[in-house]
Chains A and B, each alone.
Chain A
Amino acid sequence: DAGVIQSPRHEVTEMGQEVTLRCKPISGHDYLFWYRQTMMRGLELLIYFNNNVPIDDSGMPEDRFSAKMPNASFSTLKIQPSEPRDSAVYFCASSFARGSSYYGYTFGSGTRLTVV
């Protein structure tokens, strides 16, 4: 397996533009998570899905942020309109839960977003 695949690797955009980040989780994993990482705040959970259904989006900072998971192999995180304070590294992670046991998350390499 190629692991969790995120694209693009880097994104530079102007303030006000729409940004779409993409994620392909590991096949067979039934949980998918979107995190944002900054020096100040560390890794913050934005939203997570279980079996393609959004479970908790309380970490999504504003209505400008939205996430979808149309099928088990693809998810998007969209920011519209983007602002300079959205600049961060965005990670997608997936995991496989067996009953009551949880295993670690597998993270993608992240998308470094810069909004100028």
Chain B
Amino acid sequence: SQKIEQNSEALNIQEGKTATLTCNYTNYSPAYLQWYRQDPGRGPVFLLLIRENEKEKRKERLKVTFDTTLKQSLFHITASQPADSATYLCALSDDKIIFGKGTRLHILP
């Protein structure tokens, strides 16, 4: 069955450093991969989408890579700030989206 794996343990990063989150998947060939941010008590918020024929996508301090051979995506936040603290969800999409369980990120001041 399709499976998406994100690090279930929280990630603690010092302010100003680059935070890197990993998303691995199996038994799936997504056309797109997306990243969302979720704050407590709120719905997920769309951040970035990357297509299967794209290797990398950037948006401000965010960078996403997509390796369809490794079946892996990396999500980077550069110059991290305490306001970046949240849970980040990876989602694979074709005609519908399947989500990973997310990784909690804490940016320490």
Contacts and interface: CB of A to CB of B under 8 A. Distances in A.
Interface residues of A, number: 20
Contacts, number: 45
A110 B49 CA distance: 23
A109 B38 CA distance: 10
Given A103-B46, A109-B43, 8 more contacts: A35-B99, A43-B44, A43-B99, A43-B101, A45-B98, A55-B95, A108-B43, A109-B41
A104 B43 contact: no
B61 interface: no
Interface residues of B, number: 22
Contacts of A105: 44, 46, 97
Contact of A107 (B31, B32, B45): B45
Interface centre among A42, A109, A110 (most CB of B within 10 A): A42
A102 B43 contact: no
Interface in A2-44: 4, 33, 35, 42-43
A20 B101 CA distance: 26
A93 B36 CA distance: 13
Interface string A67-104: 00000000000000000000000010100000000111
Contacts of A93: 43
Interface in B31-53: 31-32, 34, 36, 41-47, 49
Nearest to A91: B43
B66 to A, nearest CB: 14
A93 B32 CA distance: 18
A106 interface: yes
A103 B49 contact: yes
Contact of B32 (A102, A109, A110): A102
11 contacts: A33-B97, A35-B99, A42-B100, A42-B102, A43-B89, A43-B99, A55-B95, A102-B32, A104-B46, A107-B44, A108-B43
